[in-house]
């Protein structure tokens, strides 16, 4: 374990407090878990059938294949693509949920929901090639929803998924088609991965990995539709100034922490919190209700509503140590079951809401779009009741919060650029890249992981790249790390950006009315919103008439852990981006798999994985990858 577990200053107060209170933190659990099984770390443990578990001897003296005869390459490839499938499943369930809600909205209306951003809905309809003239918003929403749901239903494998084919440049689509990795149906592709990895099926690691790449592209499809439909229903993010880190909790307010991923829940609770504010005041909270975000729900409501972000993934249960969170309301993905036990040490209501995501020890208030208002009211009232039980003597809110300018959707970036050049908004960005004022673009994404110091790798790499004039985008818990640690302020732009990058950020920021530079890290949203970065890259590629893989664009997930991150990293590779991962992936026991993902992928897709746990070395490799792409473009 690292000497200091986190660079997040809130942890300096709360981790020792946890020790004093005898409450376990993820770092305590990590320490207890040491050493972690080396076979698992190498990926060479196969539990796919009950003849196993089988495992390959990494020293070459014991078994070199499983009982069925599967080699290390086959075992690792199967395990890896099952992770890609699980990641795709998670994102696509999120997308399906939103598409179904939009379908219901279009069919018979939903009390709690509306199309808040009609402009976005029209733009989606145009992207999907749907007729809009003379049709009502509701009719268009219904057709958008039904068209999106086709990506879960199409059985014609010669036709690619609609959202994928309508949002990527033609050159990339041709490439994906020629490699046989074009998904036609998200559900079918996930099923295909589960089927082909069953015992006694596919045993060729290269073909397995290509099947996994198709799964990762199905993941992209689910993500882009989730993001775009959410924008239509809840609004497309615009720049907004807010705060981040646990100092956003208020001693004199009912603090509701919204945690998870899907805006269908969080948006309605935000609305209800405004409505019931007086009830909170009457209950003895002079500042009313203070909604804060955790993890990617935090990012969703931060970008759309300017609601402050309390914390990111790894510090979610420690946030409860503040003793000031009256309820933590969760939906899906990346929710540590430990919040139930830590919550039980305090007055905090831990509330699960999704029928297939319950946690033993938490209260379950089942939420659905149909009775959203009623359930949101119940949840907010439970939070107010919990506030009355709060023990003021146990309140420890760290005095740590940073300003964060966030809200950089593709639309808001183009809008800001259009203030510089209204005719051709992308031109200033393209000119800056061509001239070298901006060397390239790096997208930071992914989670936190106890294997590395919390938030540290993000900060170390980003400072290196900014100094070298690389434009930085961020999503998910990476964006959370940057927001919490002060990388989304104008001061940070002046402090960390190289001269020419600062010049561009200042020109765009000033034109957009910010009276100074844009922040050095542009927060694009939750992890599902990584698709936004692809929209920007696709616009650039189309404007330059090149493929995505020609662009000086790289991705980095320095602290990744989830299967979703495995899937996102994989589609980033499939789209042509050199993709850094800061955690040694569970594939290194299979040299053939390592070669495909880190070398051969470069020839096939133009993108490839760069595993590098050392953040300084990673920064160097990412910059090199950018320079190599520039060389390819002759700029």
Residue 59 CB, nearest distance to other proteins (Å)?
6
Rule CB under 8 A: say whether 57 interacts with other proteins: yes
Residues whose CB is less than 8 angstroms from the CB of residue 437 and which lie 6 or more positions away in sequence, other chains included:
431, 469, 500, 501, 503, 504
Binding range to other proteins, per CB under 8 A, among 53-61, 139-147, 323-331, 367-375: 53-61
Rule CB under 8 A: say whether 612 interacts with other proteins: no
Kindly tell me which of 61 and 515 has the beta carbon lying closer to other proteins: 61
Q: Are 87 and 566 contacting, i.e. CB atoms less than 8 angstroms apart? A: yes
Residue 30 CB, nearest distance to other proteins (Å)?
11
Residue 43 CB, nearest distance to other proteins (Å)?
12
Kindly tell me which of 60 and 129 has the beta carbon lying closer to other proteins: 60
CB-count exposure of residue 360 (10 Å: 0-12, 13-18, 19+): exposed
| Cα distance between residue 290 and residue 284, in whole Å | 13
Kindly tell me which of 36 and 157 has the beta carbon lying closer to other proteins: 36
Kindly tell me which of 151 and 456 has the beta carbon lying closer to other proteins: 456
Q: Are 581 and 609 contacting, i.e. CB atoms less than 8 angstroms apart? A: yes
Rule CB under 8 A: say whether 58 interacts with other proteins: yes
| Cα distance between residue 275 and residue 118, in whole Å | 24
Residues whose CB is less than 8 angstroms from the CB of residue 341 and which lie 6 or more positions away in sequence, other chains included:
24, 361
Residue 50 CB, nearest distance to other proteins (Å)?
13
Rule CB under 8 A: say whether 75 interacts with other proteins: no
Binding range to other proteins, per CB under 8 A, among 56-64, 402-410, 435-443, 471-479: 56-64
Burial 149-168 (b: 16+ CB within 10 A, else e): bbbbebeeeeebbbbbbbbb
Instruction: Find the binder of other proteins among 37, 67, 170, 201 (CB under 8 A).
Output: 37
Kindly tell me which of 30 and 371 has the beta carbon lying closer to other proteins: 30
Residue 37 CB, nearest distance to other proteins (Å)?
4
**Phi and psi, residue 382, nearest 5°:** -60, -35
Rule CB under 8 A: say whether 259 interacts with other proteins: no
The DSSP-derived string for 393-453 is: GG----S--EEEEE---HHHHHHHHHTT-SS-TTHHHHHHHHHTSS-EEEEE-----TTS-
Rule CB under 8 A: say whether 61 interacts with other proteins: yes
Residue 481 tokens read as: 């790390």
Residue 459 CB, nearest distance to other proteins (Å)?
23
Rule CB under 8 A: say whether 38 interacts with other proteins: yes
Strands 521-525 and 553-557, by their bridges, are unpaired
Residue 343 tokens read as: 């919550």
Rule CB under 8 A: say whether 62 interacts with other proteins: yes
Binding range to other proteins, per CB under 8 A, among 37-45, 361-369, 555-563, 575-583: 37-45
Residues whose CB is less than 8 angstroms from the CB of residue 23 and which lie 6 or more positions away in sequence, other chains included:
321, 342, 345
Kindly tell me which of 59 and 392 has the beta carbon lying closer to other proteins: 59
Rule CB under 8 A: say whether 453 interacts with other proteins: no
Kindly tell me which of 385 and 614 has the beta carbon lying closer to other proteins: 614
CA neighbours within 13 Å on the CB side: how many for 373? 7
Kindly tell me which of 52 and 58 has the beta carbon lying closer to other proteins: 58
Rule CB under 8 A: say whether 41 interacts with other proteins: yes
Q: Are 526 and 476 contacting, i.e. CB atoms less than 8 angstroms apart? A: yes
Residue 12 CB, nearest distance to other proteins (Å)?
25
User: What mask, x for binding other proteins by CB under 8 A, covers residues 99 to 128?
Assistant: ------------------------------
CA neighbours within 13 Å on the CB side: how many for 402? 22
Q: Are 60 and 191 contacting, i.e. CB atoms less than 8 angstroms apart? A: no
Residue 32 CB, nearest distance to other proteins (Å)?
11
Binding range to other proteins, per CB under 8 A, among 54-62, 172-180, 327-335, 511-519: 54-62
Strands 45-46 and 349-352, by their bridges, are unpaired
Binding range to other proteins, per CB under 8 A, among 14-22, 58-66, 240-248, 537-545: 58-66
Kindly tell me which of 57 and 278 has the beta carbon lying closer to other proteins: 57
Rule CB under 8 A: say whether 55 interacts with other proteins: yes
Please say whether the dihedral angle defined by the alpha carbons of residues 221, 225, 228 and 234, taken in this order, is positive or negative.
Answer: negative
Residue 559 CB, nearest distance to other proteins (Å)?
19
Instruction: Find the binder of other proteins among 3, 22, 34, 392 (CB under 8 A).
Output: 34
CA neighbours within 13 Å on the CB side: how many for 455? 24
Q: What is the enclosing helix (H) or strand (E) of 45?
A: strand 45-46
- Positions touching other proteins (CB under 8 A) are 34-42, 55, 57-59, 61-62
């Amino acid at each position: 374990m690292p000497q200091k577990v986190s660079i997040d200053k809130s942890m300096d107060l709360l981790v020792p407090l946890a020790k004093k209170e005898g409450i376990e933190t993820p770092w305590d659990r990590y320490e207890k878990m040491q050493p972690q099984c080396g076979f698992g770390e190498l990926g060479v443990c196969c539990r796919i059938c009950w003849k196993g578990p089988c495992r390959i001897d990494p020293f070459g003296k014991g078994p070199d294949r499983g009982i069925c005869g599967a080699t290390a390459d086959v075992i690792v490839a199967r395990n890896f693509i099952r992770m890609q499938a699980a990641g795709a499943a998670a994102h696509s369930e999120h997308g399906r949920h939103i598409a179904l809600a939009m379908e219901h909205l279009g069919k018979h209306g939903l009390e709690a929901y509306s199309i808040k951003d009609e402009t976005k809905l029209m733009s989606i309809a145009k992207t999907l090639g749907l007729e809009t003239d003379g049709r009502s918003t509701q009719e268009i929403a219904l057709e958008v929803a039904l068209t999106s749901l086709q990506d879960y239903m199409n059985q014609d494998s010669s036709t690619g998924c609609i959202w994928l084919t309508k949002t990527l440049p033609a050159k990339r689509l041709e490439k994906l088609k020629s490699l046989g990795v074009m998904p036609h149906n998200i559900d079918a592709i996930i099923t295909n991965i589960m089927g082909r990895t069953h015992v006694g099926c596919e045993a060729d690691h290269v073909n397995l990995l290509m099947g996994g790449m198709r799964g990762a592209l199905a993941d992209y499809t689910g993500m882009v539709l989730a993001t775009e439909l959410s924008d239509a229903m809840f609004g497309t993010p615009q720049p907004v100034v807010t705060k981040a880190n646990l100092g956003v909790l208020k001693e004199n307010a009912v603090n509701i922490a919204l945690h998870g991923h899907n805006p269908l829940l969080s948006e309605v609770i935000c609305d209800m919190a405004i409505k019931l504010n007086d009830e909170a005041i009457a209950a003895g909270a002079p500042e009313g209700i203070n909604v804060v975000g955790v993890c990617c729900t935090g990012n969703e409501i931060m970008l759309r509503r300017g609601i402050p972000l309390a914390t990111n993934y790894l510090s979610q249960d420690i946030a409860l140590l503040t003793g000031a969170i009256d309820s933590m309301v969760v939906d899906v993905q990346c929710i540590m079951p430990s919040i139930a036990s830590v919550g039980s040490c305090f007055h905090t209501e831990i509330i699960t809401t999704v029928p297939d995501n319950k946690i033993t020890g938490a209260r379950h208030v089942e939420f659905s779009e149909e009775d959203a208002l009623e359930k949101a009211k119940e949840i907010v009232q439970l939070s107010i009741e919990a506030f009355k039980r709060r023990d003021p003597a146990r309140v420890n809110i760290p005095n740590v919060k940073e300003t964060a300018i966030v809200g950089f959707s593709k639309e808001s970036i183009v809008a800001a650029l259009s203030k510089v050049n209204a005719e051709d908004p992308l031109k200033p960005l393209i000119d800056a890249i061509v001239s070298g004022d901006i060397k390239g673009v790096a997208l930071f994404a992914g989670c936190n992981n106890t294997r590395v110091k919390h938030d540290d790798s993000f900060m170390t790499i980003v400072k290196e790249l900014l100094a070298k004039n690389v434009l930085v985008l961020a999503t998910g818990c990476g964006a959370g790390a940057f927001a919490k640690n002060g990388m989304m302020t104008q001061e940070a732009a002046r402090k960390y950006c190289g001269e020419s990058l600062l010049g561009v950020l200042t020109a765009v920021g000033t034109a957009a009315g910010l009276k100074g530079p844009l922040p050095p890290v542009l927060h694009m949203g939750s992890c599902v919103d990584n698709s936004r970065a692809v929209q920007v890259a696709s616009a650039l590629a189309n404007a330059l008439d090149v493929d995505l893989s020609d662009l000086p664009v790289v991705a980095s997930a320095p602290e990744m852990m989830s299967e979703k991150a495995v899937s996102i990293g994989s589609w980033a590779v499939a789209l042509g981006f050199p993709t850094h991962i800061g955690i040694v992936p569970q594939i290194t026991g299979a040299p053939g798999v390592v070669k495909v993902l880190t070398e051969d992928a470069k020839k096939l897709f133009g993108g490839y994985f760069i595993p590098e746990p050392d953040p300084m070395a990673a920064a160097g490799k990412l910059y090199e990858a950018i320079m190599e792409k520039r060389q390819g473009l002759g700029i």
